[in-house]
Structure 1
């Protein structure tokens, strides 16, 4: 019997908590309390949306994004997070989520889909280039703590 996977909007507090295991692949610095506080704030006040790929009740990959307008890029979807559990990598789930968000942006006549990635995250960069992304800026940080 073949496994079936489905992309769904992640809405419940339980589903958001289930994303933590996946998020830790990309964001190992997050604790459970930091995750809970931040994800709740982002969803409630920053128009952050989570879409996940589910295998039965387990979230195996997710994408987190915001719809926003900026002076430099116009009306965009900004992808904050794209994560897949290690044991499910290489099966095309990140590609499915990127395609899903790009189709959403296109259907809403947006100007662009934008994201940042680490300089040393070559696997992700290859995926993004294969999905039509191009280098257009350098993201700078002034950490305060």
Structure 2
């Protein structure tokens, strides 16, 4: 088992089967191109690999704002639905915390859909707090 940043096209594409479970609207053909585009804006993709297969994937970025200072924001965090209950999510989450600390972040945050009750239980178990409501509108 190892956790690493996806840097090659092969590694990025290897994350698709897992991340598409969270983001089913993604197109496999355009996935690598989309991730590479986002990487130019600071997005990083990391994966937990077991037996040469990604079983948990996270997409994140480091940013700074007036409200929080420097922080790590988790865009995506998902464990393969057939590999859950093996602590892979917790291991990847702990890796994100260490990554944030090693990059001098003061906070780690994410948004989660209101319907994702299992994810909310996981985040609360990881000692996260619900600190705000996220509002949005399509344009």
Q: Normalising TM by the smaller chain, what interval? A: over 0.9
Partner of 1:10: 6
Q: Could you tell me which residue of structure 1 aligns to residue 91 of structure 2?
A: 96
Aligned partners of 1:103, 1:31: CA distance in 2, in Å?
31
Give the distance between the partners of 2:30 and 2:136, measured in 1 at CA.
Answer: 20
1:121-144 deviation line (CA, Å, top 9, x unaligned)? 011111111112111111122213
TM-align CA RMSD = 1.3
* C-alpha distance in 1 between matches for 2:65 and 2:127: 20
Q: Which runs of 5+ in 1 are unaligned?
A: none
Deviation at 1:34, TM superposition (A): 4.0
1:109 Cα offset (Å): 3.1
Match of 1:58 in 2: 53
1:108 to partner: Cα distance: 3.2
**SS of corresponding position for 1:35:** helix
Q: Quote the Cα distance in structure 1 between the aligned partners of 2:100 and 2:20.
A: 27
1:36 deviation in Å?
2.8
The size of the alignment, in residue pairs, is 139
Aligned partners of 1:33 and 1:71: how far apart in 2?
A: 38
SS at match of 1:133: coil
CA positional deviation for 1:33: 3.4
Show the 5 A alignment for 1:22-101: 22-43=18-39, 45-101=40-96
What is the TM-score of this pair, normalised by structure 2?
0.93
TM-score, normalization: structure 1? Answer: 0.89
